[in-house]
Amino acid sequence: MSKPACPMCEMTEVMEHANRYECVTCGHEWLREAQPDAPEAARVVKDAHGQVLADGDCVILIKDLKLGGGSQVLKGGSKSKPIRLVDGDHEIDCKVDGIAIGLKACFVKKA
């Protein structure tokens, strides 16, 4: 059986403990036992500090993020335009410094 992805940041770097998993990236911990056939609840997206995000919120980057494919960097502290929550590997679609980008919620805080 392979290790599960983190339910908070969806990264796959997970440490196994006796009765729980712990994400190396964001520090989130959850129980190892699976909940069989549990109905899927509405998706809740939380920022790096645990605040619930919604469509139309503005967020601030908490660290510098290097953009792939170039040498451009988005500086920590940059504020976004109103966000849109999406399904997929990146939970947030927004514009930061005029650049349309997809972000993981673990790299932002609610403005």
Domain that holds residue 51: 45-110
**Count of CB atoms within 10 A of residue 27's CB?**
11
6 and 29 housed in the same domain: yes
CATH number, position 106: 2.30.30.40
Question: 0.75 cut: is pTM over it?
Answer: no
CATH (domain of 21) = 2.20.25
What pLDDT, on a 0 to 100 scale, did the predictor assign at position 50? 92
pLDDT in tens, 9-36: 888 888 888 888 888 888 888 888 754 4
Overall domain count for the chain = 2
In a shared domain, residues 83 and 105: yes
SS3 sequence of the chain: CCCCCCCCCCCCCEEECCCEEEECCCCCEEECCCCCCCCCCCCCEECCCCCEECCCCCEEECCCEECCCCCCEECCCCEECCCEECCCCCCEEEEECCEEEEECHHHEEEC
| pLDDT at residue 39, as a whole number | 54
pLDDT digits (tens, 9 = 90+) for 42-61: 778 999 999 999 999 999 99
